[in-house]
Amino acid sequence: MSEGPADGDAPESPGERQLAVVVGKPRAESVIDALEAEGVYDDGRHVQSWDGDGVAVPVTAPPETVEVREVVQQVGERRLRSLADHLRQRGWSEEELDAAPSSWAVVGSVVLVAMGDAPRPGEVGEALLALHGEADTVLARNGIGGAHREPDVTVIAGEGDTETVHTEHGTEYGLDLAEVMFSPGNKAERARMGDIVEAGERVLDMFAGIGYFTLPMARAGADVVAVERNPTAFRYLVENTMRNGVADRVESYRADCRDVLATGLDAFGDAATVDRAVLGYYDATDPEAGYLDHALAALAPGGTLHVHETTPEQLVFERPVERLEAAAADAGRPVEVLDTRRVKSHSEGVVHVVVDARVD
């Protein structure tokens, strides 16, 4: 076991010596997840810088299943437990703390936060970096807009590098958070798609983005046709298939999915239908858009649709189910709703929901 100060050449300060594992900073997020799964991550202490390009991740015992550079003895104060703790330390009043952000997410090396009416954004950003030592940039989320659903973000603290690699359940997503959207609240749904698909299934992902659902499904052994029209998102989609070792199972198209489907699914040869189709676009159920019609035409009898929608609270799940049933009736195909789920709150009075259905 080696020893060393957590801040490079900084002298040791008196305090209780505890264990930490040293890893490269780009791996910090995935290592923390793995340490949590093993039950040895110590969330009562800070992740700290170590030897320039590394970080020291606090642990309660040496890990048995996680590869690390070394196990070290770490000296340091106990973690301030909350953002409010850090802001109080910076002199914030209780009234100001009431306006501080209540939620945020760490995506790779970036913290995404909705600032709302919080005062002094720079101090909030610095406090979030102190709270999350594995991150080096804090972005304020200002919304998403445009035909390609592009994010509007502002750097409020840190290095300002918006390109990162985010890891979830073993899937690596490379992306630039200033260029393409990423919803931390969809984490469970991304993981679920990798769990329910079977090896050898033919899958159509009509709004693939950077590979949100494509990657976990392909990693599970499915053959996926992934369609994305945003050129930046498409570039990351292709890069991410290679990053995750699934390029041979993903046929990627930069186009409007309706145009691709109108010319047929050549990727599947004579079997030009799919076993499963994912419509991850919030407005995919809009009857005027025709996305459901194209999905139904591509789906083999007995296939499954996963339809996403942002629905007014008073119409959950009535509206997406009615739209799906109407499109299926127009196509002359029986449909059976298998499951309905709330994914997250999208905005005030609006819910992101998913409907799973079997179509014969």
> Rounded to whole angstroms, how far apart are CA atoms 181 and 157?
20
Position 333 confidence tier, pLDDT thresholds 50, 70, 90: very high
Final residue before a domain boundary, out of 49, 75, 101:
75
176 shares its domain with 222: yes
- 251-280 mean pLDDT: 82
> Rounded to whole angstroms, how far apart are CA atoms 85 and 125?
14
Final residue before a domain boundary, out of 114, 140, 161:
161
22 shares its domain with 53: yes
**Residue range(s) defining the domain that contains residue 351:** 169-359
Say what the pLDDT of residue 78 is: 56
Is the pLDDT assigned to residue 299 strictly greater than 60?
yes
- Residue 261: how many CB atoms within 10 A of its CB? 25
Is 183 assigned a ligand-binding role in the annotation?
Answer: yes
Q: Which residues of 323-355 are buried (b: 16+ CB within 10 A; e: fewer)?
A: bbbebbeeeeeebeeeeeeebeebeeebbbbbb
> Rounded to whole angstroms, how far apart are CA atoms 65 and 37?
10
Task: Report how many domains make up the chain.
Answer: 3
Contact in structure between 105 and 138 (CB atoms under 8 Å): no
Structure confidence by residue, pLDDT tens digits, 32-65 = 888 888 889 988 777 877 777 788 888 988 998 8
133 shares its domain with 207: no
Structure confidence by residue, pLDDT tens digits, 223-238 = 999 999 999 999 999 9
199 shares its domain with 332: yes
- 18-38 mean pLDDT: 86
Say what the pLDDT of residue 217 is: 98
- 3-28 mean pLDDT: 59
Position 70 confidence tier, pLDDT thresholds 50, 70, 90: confident
Domain of 23, CATH number, reads: 3.30.70
- What is the sign of the dihedral through the CA atoms of 303, 324, 338 and 170? positive
Is the pLDDT assigned to residue 11 strictly greater than 50?
no
Say what the pLDDT of residue 107 is: 94
Is the pLDDT assigned to residue 85 strictly greater than 60?
yes
Residue with tokens 């993981």: 191
37 shares its domain with 103: no
The Cα diameter of the chain in Å comes to: 75
For residue 281, give both structure tokens.
């676009």
336 shares its domain with 188: yes
Say what the pLDDT of residue 4 is: 31
Domain of 301, CATH number, reads: 3.40.50.150
Is the pLDDT assigned to residue 213 strictly greater than 80?
yes
Domain of 136, CATH number, reads: 3.30.300.110
149 shares its domain with 272: no
147 shares its domain with 173: no
Structure confidence by residue, pLDDT tens digits, 138-179 = 999 987 766 667 889 999 999 999 999 999 989 999 999 999
Contact in structure between 298 and 263 (CB atoms under 8 Å): no
> Rounded to whole angstroms, how far apart are CA atoms 101 and 90?
15
**Percent over 70 (pLDDT), the chain:** 90
109 shares its domain with 19: no
34 shares its domain with 135: no
275 shares its domain with 194: yes
> Rounded to whole angstroms, how far apart are CA atoms 193 and 191?
5
For residue 253, give both structure tokens.
């198209």
For residue 42, give both structure tokens.
């110590």
281 shares its domain with 195: yes
- CA distances to 41, 83, 95, 243, 290 from 126, rounded to whole Å, are 23, 10, 19, 31, 46
Q: Which residue has the higher pLDDT, 9 or 90?
A: 90
Hey, is 341 helix, strand or coil? strand
Hey, is 54 helix, strand or coil? strand
Cα atoms found within 13 Å of the Cα of residue 329, Cβ hemisphere only: 7
Is the pLDDT assigned to residue 9 strictly greater than 50?
no
Lowest mean per-residue pLDDT among 142-146, 202-206, 283-287, 302-306: 142-146
Is 134 assigned a ligand-binding role in the annotation?
Answer: no
> Rounded to whole angstroms, how far apart are CA atoms 8 and 31?
21
| Vertex 222 angle, CA 219 and 223, to 5° | 115
CA neighbor of 203 nearest in space, from 302, 296, 274, 264: 274
Is 109 assigned a ligand-binding role in the annotation?
Answer: no
CA neighbor of 282 nearest in space, from 244, 315, 320, 254: 320
Cis peptide before 207 (omega within 30 of 0): no
Q: E-strand spans in 177-235?
A: 202-205, 223-227
Is the pLDDT assigned to residue 109 strictly greater than 90?
yes
